[in-house]
Structure formats: structure tokens, C-alpha cells
Structure 1
Amino acid sequence: MKIAIGNDHVGLILKPAIVDYLHELGHETVDSGTNSNERTDYPIYGEKVGKMVASGETDLGIVICGTGVGISLAANKVKGIRAVVCSEPYSAKLSREHNNTNVLAFGSRVIGEELAKMIVREWLDAKFLGGRHGRRVNMLSAIEEEQ
């Protein structure tokens, strides 16, 4: 799978470990984040990853900032993106199974490296269940279309 990685200066702390972990799992990554410690704005990178996923350039995206919240909000502004902020693996798994999320967000000020890897693994291993969940995801898409 091809996965876009985006981060601001605060998310740079976790990015190398997550990229290495994704490579260990056999995935290709596309770096769409900053590689500098200089202060930058998370919306830039959330949008970049969102656009890469929405266009099909990458299969999924992972975004990292201080809390995961701001960068996920930016990604969610891109049509077709369902980004989720997770600080534990269970929500990551269910977000894929029930909500068919295509961008995962977390915060480098909230979780550590090993927990981040657990979250990524659960999220990637989970599969969308469809059925009643598909109807609900379609309802989300309909709301998006009305805008």
C-alpha cells in the first residue's frame, strides 16, 4: 500500500519512526510533511495529504502534529477525506471498520512511539465492514455533497 505522511514541526518527532515502521510492514510512503524543526503551519500538511488520498495518488494518509486535532481538521476539509484522531488502537480499528477512514491522525505531544505504532497497525489491519456502516458513510458523503 502507498501511504502519504504529513506533519508539522511538532509531528517531526514521530515521523521517522512511523515511516520506518510502515516500511517494515511492507508499505511505500510518500513524505508530504516538513523535515525542519522550524515552526510551520499544520493546515499545509493536512491539506497536502488529504489531496493525495482523495485523488488516489496514495491509498491512505497519516498526519501528525502536536495533538493530531488541527492537522486532521485540515485533512477533513478535503472532499472525500474521513480523517480520525486516535490516541489508542481500539478507536483506530473501529474507525476503519465502521467509518472507512482514509486518514489517521495522532499527536506527538499526546502519544509515544510504541503506542503510535500500535495505533497504526490496528488501523491498517482493520477492514471496512460495509452493510449498515456503508449506509452511514454514504450519508456522510451526501452531507459533503450538499456543501
Structure 2
Amino acid sequence: MKIGIGSDHNAFQLKEEVKAYIESLGHIVEDYGCYSEEEVDYPGLAFNVATNITKGSLERGILLCGTGIGMSIAANKVPGIRSAQCHDVYSAERAQLSNNAQIITMGSKIVGPELAKKIVEAYLAVSFQGGNSARKIDQIMDKEKEYLLQGSCC
């Protein structure tokens, strides 16, 4: 699988460890930054990974910041993306199995390297199963399309 990864400065060290781990699992990793602990704003990084998923250049993404919240919010602004914040193995599995999330996010101030690796491994090891979940995902995506066509949500 081709996986996009990105982080802000808060999660740079964790990103480097997670990136090496994903590669050790046999996946191709494309690093979208940041490339040091120098301060950087995360939205552009999240938009970049998410956009490349919608274009088909990447299959999935892993985004990291201090809490994982900001990255998930930013990634979810890209139409067609489903990003889920995951700080445990079960949530990571369900993000893919039940929600077909193309991206997971984590916070470096919340999870350490070993747990982050387990979360990533669980997420990458499963595929969306469809079934009742597909119907729910379709409802979410239909609402997104409706809002996009209207030009606003309210």
C-alpha cells in the first residue's frame, strides 16, 4: 500500500518512528513533512495528504500533531475524505472496518511510539467490509455532496 504521512513540529519525532515502522511492514511511505522540529502550521500538510488520497496518488494517510484533533479536522475539510482520530487499537480497526476512513490521526502528546505503531499496524491490517456500514457511509457522503452543490451547509 502507498501511505502518505505528515506531521507538525510537535509530532516530528513520532512521525519519523512511525514512518520507519510502516516501511518495515512493507508499505511505501510518502512523507509530506514536516522535516524538522521547526514550527510549522499543520493544515496545509493535512490538505496535501488528503488531496492526494482523493486523486488516487495515495491509498491511506497517517497524520500526527500534538493531539491529532487539528489534523483530523483539517483533513475532513477535503471533500470525499473521512479522517478519524485514533488513540487506541480498537478505534483504528473500526475507523477502517466500519467507516472506511482513508486517514487516521494521532497526537504525539497522547500516544507514545510503541502504541502509535500498534495503532498504525491495526489500521493498515484491515479493509472496509461494507455491509450495514456502507449504507451509513453513503448517507454521510450524500450529505457532503448536497452541501457542496448548495455552496453552503446552512
TM-score grouping bracket, smaller chain normalisation = over 0.9
Deviation at 1:36, TM superposition (A): 2.0
Q: CA RMSD in A?
A: 0.7
2: distance between equivalents of 1:78 and 1:94?
21
Segments of structure 2 that go 5 or more residues without pairing to the other structure are 148-154
C-alpha deviation, 1:85, in angstroms: 0.4
Partner of 2:151: none
1:64 correspondence with 2:64: yes
**Alpha-carbon distance between aligned partners in 2 of 1:11 and 1:102, rounded to the nearest angstrom:** 20
Q: Distance in 2 between matches of 1:83 and 1:91?
A: 12
Superposed, 1:1-147 pairs within 5 Å as 1-147=1-147
Which secondary structure state, in structure 1, belongs to the residue aligned with residue 64 of structure 2?
Answer: strand
- Looking at structure 1, the residues matched to 145 and 11 of structure 2 have their Cα atoms a distance apart, in angstroms, of 31
Report the AA paired with residue 80 of structure 2: G
Counterpart residue type for residue 20 of structure 2 = D
Give, in whole Å, the separation in 2 of the partners of 1:136 and 1:24.
Answer: 34
The alignment's TM-score, normalised by the length of structure 1, stands at 0.97
Unaligned runs of 5+ in 1: none
**Please, what TM-score do these two structures have when normalized by structure 2?**
0.93
**Runs of 4+ in structure 1 displaced over 6 angstroms?**
none
- Per-residue CA deviation, residues 83-134 of structure 1 (Å, 9 max, x unaligned), is 0001100011011111001001001110000000000011111221101100
Q: Aligned to 2:4, what secondary structure does the other structure show?
A: strand
Q: Distance in 2 between matches of 1:44 and 1:135?
A: 31
CA distance, structure 1, for counterparts of residue 118 and residue 36 of structure 2:
26
Once the two structures are superposed, residues 43-99 of structure 1 have per-residue CA deviations (whole angstroms, 9 ceiling, x without a partner) of 111111111111111110110000000011111100111000011000110111110
2-side partners of 1:51 and 1:33: how far apart? 15
Between the aligned residues of both structures, percent identity stands at 41
